[in-house]
Structure 1
Amino acid sequence: MKYRALLIILAMLCIPLSVPVLAQSGDATEDPSAGWPVEQHCVNITPPPAGWTFDGTILMLGDYGIHGYQAGWETPHVLVFLHKSNAVRGGALSPDGNWYAYPWGEFFITETYNAITSVSELRVHSTRDAREYRVALRAQGYQSAYDKAVWLDNEHVLFQNMDYENPDTAGLIRITPVSGTIETWTLLANAVTSLPEYLYPAPDWKAFVAPYYGYVRSGSTVNYEGNWGLYSFEDNAFARTADIPLGEAYLPSALAWSPDSTQFAAYTDNNILALFDRNGTITQTIFTFSGEGEAVGLDSLQWSSDGRYVTFDLIQDSHYEPGEDLRYVTARSAKPGSNHIMIADLQEQKIIDTCLPVGWGVAWSPETNHLAFVGPGEGQVPLQVFDVNSWEAHTVAYQGVSYPYAEYHDDRVMIGWRAD
């Protein structure tokens, strides 16, 4: 009765009364830190109906090399044979999916227990036919310093070269595999001293995100610390223009640029999935993870070819703690299937939970809104294609999968989708 009387008095005095209101799903975007509303729209996985098809070739890493699958095939085919004993990790698919480049060499432990990577060739294989190009190199360094190939476009590969016997050849080189031409590439010279182990370039190569290190004074002490930076191409050179909050600089991050290079999505150090503009400013918080027990799957952050959708794997792992290496977390969750595909719809500004369990990696078709992925587990696991437009998923074949070494980035399964 007293509360009712108070309401009457306040109404007579025309004094506004603040009454708590429960937030509705559509209100989520009003709080930039809350993320977009989440809708659960579970997808049933069925065999493909008669006449159902898709365009292009799905590309995967598997036993013996690069596997491909086209609509109508009974099983995936080995398109590129890789010699596991000498195929140093760090291989990469060209943007158009027509080529796969990887360092050829060996990894060994010296008598003084130093881990050394020695690369003698860059090998480039066609995913369409038997063409293969080999470019002689002499790169050697500690651990995984010289084992990463990065495509600048569909014709040139960037590589970090180091020859202890010929130090003048050290540095970033641009390789044209078809001609065997090797050139010093100096555009990164004032931005990074060597090719970063984790490098996320925009498709137009006018910006990239990479870690950097430096000395930071804190009181009377000076610490050597790492951070992530956005580098932009200005005045005919790259320069660091912003810091990006991605967490530990010595660990891989989940980051993907939009097809038009105007923005990127990234998993930040405060457990949110956010959109950044070309200047490195957060423009939207897409999704907020709960912290302990939830993370994003490495290599799962992918844009559809039309730029409307961004996928990510929501990992639900009770053993996960923020800051843990996403390579281990992704491999660990890919076996029991404790993760599933989420789709951010940038047009509707909402998150859709598909309930689709997934292994390691997804790939969008280059021309349509089809998404390829393998199911969880090891051994022969289902290869599945999800049609976002019809909201149907079909098991099209089975692919051999294993996750023997979680620290190897090439433990991912899905690597691309080639247009034919």
Structure 2
Amino acid sequence: MASTFDGVEHSRCVQTRISSPTDAASAFMSSGSRDINLVAVPTGAMLCCQFVSIPSGFFVLGQRWHKNIGAVDPGFKMCWPFYYRVSHVVTRATITYSAPSRQVPCADNVMVDINLSLTFSIGPSFEDAEAFIYTLGCTRFDEFLAAEVEEGVRGLVYSVTHDRVNDLREEFAQSMLASLSSKFRPFGVQIKNVKVTETRLPRNLAKSLEDTTTGRTRISEVAKRHENTIRVLQDEASQELEQVLRTNARKKQDLLAQCTRYEIEHKEIIDEMVGQARVQEMESKSNMDVRITQAVGNLEVAKSEGMKEAEEIRKSMEIKCEERKVKVTQMANTTVVESEAQLRAAENNSKALVATAGAENNSTAGLEVKRKYELEWQRLQILEVLAKDGRRFVTGEAGKQLLKDMVPGPSQMLKK
């Protein structure tokens, strides 16, 4: 059933019968607003013809005994027999095909009307024209094309909501063009362009969307006015901020000038103080040099006096040492002489005692212990005197004997 969209009817591809091949041009030009003539079929001659005119600018297919013989060259043919015939004349023109669809449901179940326009042509070769005539045909091509276009439109529209229908024109056209080209190219049909010319929503929904658009427009205007007001306020604030920045910059410049002046004054004071410090330093160095010179002189004088006094002390001590040495030597000699005298006396006494002891031994054996005791006591007294009177230097055998007598050994103690 044909559908219309704002007076645009669904196109239909038809095949027309003509009396002779030369009538093909008028047949293709006389197509109605809905019917599109793609193929013209001339009526076959019953007898031989003296001449036949084959038009140019079309795909002209011929038959011999109703068997396809391919393309028939255009021109004037003489003595055309009846078993030769022009079977089909196919247009080379680019055809515009309108396919409006009504009440197509969207994903949100809103019915929309869509008008689709596509352009196609048969060819560009005679083989494509033969494929179109003998494999598909004009009637089946019209049915196939209408079904594919309707299915493609409904499938794409059902995948989106109503608010995106108007945004899918380019996307839909590209996908539909690729799909139709792949399906119709084997039959010699070349799909050149697919375009969605118009979409229409239901009246109430369109009115609601229009009101929504109007509201959005008003909102946009209010937003623009608000943005303008904000921009004015921002400009005023920017001017005030610029004024404040200029004032601060001027104050900053004044402060920097004061800081520079203060730095210059500070540098002058520092230079003055440095000069005074250098003068004081030079005076201090001069005084220090004078004091160092005085101290060096005093040191030299003190060294001289110290050396002189030390020499005097050394000489006096040498004299005292010599005197003490002489005294000690004299005392030592005296002590040695006295010790030798006492030693001789002790030896004489010991000899006398020995003699007395021998006599007593011979006379009285009972007095041996008493004599030994008295002898030991006298020996100890002598040693006491020797130890009390001073130091004596005794060397050699005499010293060993004296030490032995002073410290008796264990054998002597056993004898005693």
**How does the TM-score come out when normalised to structure 2?**
0.17
Choose 1 or 2 for highest CA Rg: 2
**How does the TM-score come out when normalised to structure 1?**
0.16
| Higher strand residue share | 1
Q: Which one has more relative contact order, counting CA pairs under 8 Å at least 6 apart?
A: 1
| Higher helix residue share | 2
